[in-house]
């Protein structure tokens, strides 16, 4: 009888072992863990924009405040944006040469402010770039399209594209394209190019060479 | 285990064992909306168990439960979230089911044969935990729904007293699931395991 009981007990152990849940996160590589969200003003014709400038530092948005930094990773992201915009047919101009587009790169490090939705991070921190930086002192920023809500509870890199060409007429700096990168291992200069490329690749309407 | 068996009145010499405890490994195949909307891969991660009481040599009633974990990872794709908004992600779906059902078994040849084929029916509830991940960012939803099943199998008694043996069989499980645009979590299942009969 002990043999039968042992067999049943062994069977229980085997069954519970086989019945273990396969954890989705444990089956992801760093690359697979990442998501790329882009949004744009669908009323904008991007073929009307020909030149651009990229901010010379990264806005670090952390715990209710923001400051500007430029480390190796920040430089890598700024360079990636510059290179990839040029490869899509845009011409880089200095800030004082009246570029059509202003592009900012931002790191969002929310560690104690709780959950921030993708929709509201920009509302919270819309002043992280002084409009004076783009030559429009006193102007406000605008977002002429809606975000879907997506939860941000940890680090992210975002890239915002500002319409400088029409700012004088509209009286504000409209963000006409945004990209958000989230996931493991994104704060690494070695992956900056591929991360920005992923954002631009899924925004084919930006590409003048297609 | 011995304490459990003692508590349940285990008696190896009994010829009229009424209670039967059954533990099976279960392999499950998603069907219909479940297969097309959540996971198309079959699941090797599951088990079933039932405790049955024989009200006659040909008929038993009891309780059945189990566990099954379904998982599938889809290659990176671009999904439209709204007007002008897109997300590129590796999507992972994970769904666990824990049925709890009343169960009946019918043995057309009775309980005195070398092979004991049976047909079975069950109905009850189904705990469902559904998780979906975009990359490493997930959301989950837990719910309880209806579950019904119909199956066939055969039990092969072993041992001198023939009070334990092997059970193999299959079933079709019906589980409506009207969430997130889906219709059901229906599955086809095959199982193999051991049973133990006692008073």
pLDDT tens digits along A39-97: 898 888 999 999 999 999 988 877 667 778 889 999 999 999 999 999 999 999 999 99
- Using CB atoms, pick whichever of B25, B46, B133 lies closest to residue A24: B133
* Smallest CA–CA distance from A9 into chain B, residue: B1
Residues of B in contact with A1 (CB under 8 A): 12
What φ, ψ does residue B179 adopt, rounded to 5°? -140, 150
Q: What number is the average pLDDT over the span A172-193?
A: 91
Total domain count, chain B: 1
Residue A110, pLDDT above cutoff 70: no
A168: which DSSP letter? H
| Closest CA–CA distance from residue B6 to any residue of chain A (Å) | 11
On average, the pLDDT of chain B sits at 89
pLDDT at B4: 39
Q: Do A18 and B88 touch (CB under 8 A)?
A: no
Q: In angstroms, what CA-CA distances link B145 with B127, B153, B185, B199?
A: 7, 26, 10, 33
Of A22, A39, A183, which is closest to B69 when you measure between CB atoms? A22
Determine the pLDDT at residue B11: 38
Question: Which residues sit opposite B81 in a β-bridge?
Answer: none
Q: What angle do CA A187, A193, A197 make, to 5 degrees?
A: 115
Is the model's pLDDT at B7 over the cut of 50?
A: no
pLDDT at B13 over 70: no
Q: Cβ A18–B78 below 8 Å, yes or no? A: no
Q: How far apart are CA B95 and CA B187, in angstroms?
A: 13
Residue A2 pLDDT: 63
Domain spanning A30-117+151-206: CATH 3.30.160.670: yes
* B95 to chain A, closest Cα gap in Å: 9
CA distance A90 to A49: 8
- Residue B196: band (very low, low, confident or very high) from pLDDT cuts 50, 70, 90: very high
In this prediction the ipTM stands at 0.84
Residue B150: CATH number of its domain: 2.40.160.20
Q: What HEC string does A22-88 produce?
A: CCCHHHCCHHHHCEEEEEECCCCCHHHCCEEEEEEEEEEEECCEEEEECCHHHHHHHHHHHHHHHHC
Interface test with A, best of B94, B127, B136 (most A CBs within 10 A): B136
- Name the pLDDT band for B54 (thresholds 50, 70, 90): very high
> B147 lies in which domain range?
2-198
Pairing between strand A51-62 and A91-92? parallel
- CA-nearest of B26, B100, B10, B117 to B63 is B100
CA dist., res. B194 & res. B178, Å (int): 35
Q: Looking at mean pLDDT, say which of A14-23, A98-107, A144-153 comes out highest.
A: A98-107
- The answer to whether B73 faces chain A, any CB pair under 8 Å, is yes
Interface of B with A in 97-126 (CB under 8 A): none
Between CA A46 and CA B48 the distance in angstroms is 58
Domain layout of chain A by residue ranges: 30-117+151-206
């Amino acid at each position: 009888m002990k043999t039968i009981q042992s067999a049943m007990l062994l069977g229980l152990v085997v069954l519970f072992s086989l019945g273990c849940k396969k954890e989705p996160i444990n089956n992801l590589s760093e690359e697979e863990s990442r998501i790329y969200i882009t949004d744009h003003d669908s009323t904008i014709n991007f073929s009307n924009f020909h030149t651009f400038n990229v901010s010379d530092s990264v806005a670090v948005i952390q715990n209710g405040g923001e400051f500007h930094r430029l480390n190796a990773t920040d430089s890598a992201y700024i360079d990636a944006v510059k290179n990839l915009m040029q490869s899509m047919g845009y011409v880089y101009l200095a800030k004082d040469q009246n570029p059509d587009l202003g592009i900012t790169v931002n790191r969002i490090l929310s560690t104690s402010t709780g959950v921030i939705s993708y929709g509201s991070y920009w509302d919270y921190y819309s002043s992280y770039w002084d409009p004076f930086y783009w030559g429009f002192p006193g102007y406000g920023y605008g977002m002429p399209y809606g975000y879907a809500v997506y939860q941000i509870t940890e680090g992210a890199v975002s890239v915002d594209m500002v319409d400088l060409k029409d700012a004088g007429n509209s009286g504000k700096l409209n963000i006409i394209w945004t990209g958000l990168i989230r996931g493991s291992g994104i704060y690494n200069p070695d992956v900056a190019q591929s991360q920005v490329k992923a954002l631009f690749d899924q925004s084919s309407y930006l590409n003048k060479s297609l | 285990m011995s304490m459990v068996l003692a508590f349940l009145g285990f008696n190896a010499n009994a010829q009229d064992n009424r209670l039967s405890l059954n533990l099976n490994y279960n392999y499950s195949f998603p069907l219909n909306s479940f297969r097309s909307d959540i996971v198309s891969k079959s699941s090797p991660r599951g088990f079933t168990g039932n405790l049955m009481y024989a009200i006659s040599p040909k008929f038993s009633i009891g309780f059945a439960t189990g566990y099954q974990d379904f998982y599938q990872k889809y290659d990176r794709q671009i999904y439209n979230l709204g007007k002008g908004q897109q997300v590129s992600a590796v999507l992972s779906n994970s769904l666990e089911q824990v049925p709890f059902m009343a169960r009946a078994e019918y043995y057309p040849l009775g309980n005195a044969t070398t092979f004991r084929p049976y047909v079975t029916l069950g109905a009850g509830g189904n705990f469902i935990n559904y998780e979906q991940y975009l990359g490493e960012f997930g959301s989950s939803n837990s719910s309880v729904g209806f579950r019904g099943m119909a199956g066939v199998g055969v039990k092969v008694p072993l041992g001198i007293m023939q009070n334990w043996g092997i059970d193999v069989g299959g079933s079709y499980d019906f589980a409506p699931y009207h969430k997130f645009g889906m219709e059901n979590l229906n599955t086809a299942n095959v199982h193999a395991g051991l049973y133990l009969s006692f008073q």
